[in-house]
Amino acid sequence: MIYLAKSANAWGLQNFEQTLTEEVSELGLNHLPLQQGLSSSSVALDHNLKLLILDITPDKHQLVIIKMGAFYSGIISGCSCSDDPSPTDEVNEYCELLLSINLDNAETTIQLLEE
């Protein structure tokens, strides 16, 4: 389970968006569905992950629903042979994520928004 305690505690404060963006960025590939969001490459990378908050909707049940855009890179993996002519250039990727944060306990779900 994912807990975004810093973000839940910052809800309603001026620094909420910055706190949320930083905390989600720290999750990386282990907890974000970046691999599933690939469109032009085969392996997701998170070393240059940039997040953009697209929409924030408070819910009646102590939930905050956030739509985020994720800009990141991926590579097209080759066979990794010594004579493989394929370059390992990074490809720009983008996907959208939907986060739901329970403000009572900071429990968070993150899912990929399908286009």
Quick one: pLDDT at residue 80? 61
Q: What is the pLDDT of residues 63-89, one digit of tens each?
A: 999 999 999 999 987 656 666 666 668
Rounded to two decimals, what is the model's pTM? 0.88
For 13, 44, 75, 91, the CA distances from 87, given in Å and listed in that order, are 46, 16, 9, 11
pLDDT at 59 over 80: yes
Indicate the helix (H) or strand (E) that contains 74. strand 63-75
User: Which positions ≥6 away from 104 have C-beta within 8 Å?
Assistant: 62
Domains in the chain (CATH in brackets) are 2-113 (3.10.450)
Predicted confidence (pLDDT) per residue in 89-101, tens digit? 889 999 999 999 9
